[in-house]
């Protein structure tokens, strides 16, 4: 079941609003834990600094509502740029 179908299921069926909030929060936290430390630490290493961002700092950044979509795009863009810069 893809993420799109999960959101379609939550929108089209009788699901409590609290379940939607918890699912949205959980996805945001997971995206933050995975993507933001990768993005920040990759750029820190590229500029000659030691990696300093850990998973819980990424989680805090991922909790912010609008960074969920941005995190995936930033991680892909960072990966593509690093293919050419390294």
CB proximity list for 4: less than 8 A, separation 6 or greater: none
Residue 20's pLDDT band, with cuts at 50, 70 and 90, is: confident
Task: Count CA atoms closer than 13 A to 68's CA, side-chain side.
Answer: 13
User: Which of 86, 81, 10 is closest to 39 using CA atoms?
Assistant: 81
CB 27, CB 52: distance < 8 Å = no
Residue that has been written with the tokens 């805090």 in this structure: 60
Residue 25's pLDDT band, with cuts at 50, 70 and 90, is: confident
Residue 4's pLDDT band, with cuts at 50, 70 and 90, is: low
Does residue 78 carry a pLDDT above 90? Answer: yes
Domain spans of the chain?
16-85
Rounded to two decimals, the pTM is: 0.76
| Model confidence pLDDT, tens digit, residues 29-54 | 999 999 999 999 999 999 999 999 99
């Amino acid at each position: 079941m893809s993420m799109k179908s999960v959101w379609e299921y939550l929108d089209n069926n009788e699901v409590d609003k609290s379940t939607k909030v918890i699912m949205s929060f959980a996805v945001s936290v997971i995206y933050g834990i995975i993507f933001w430390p990768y993005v920040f630490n990759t750029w820190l290493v590229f500029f000659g600094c030691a990696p300093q961002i850990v998973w819980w700092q990424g989680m805090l950044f991922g909790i912010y509502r609008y960074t969920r979509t941005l995190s995936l795009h930033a991680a892909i863009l960072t990966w593509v740029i690093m293919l050419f810069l390294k």
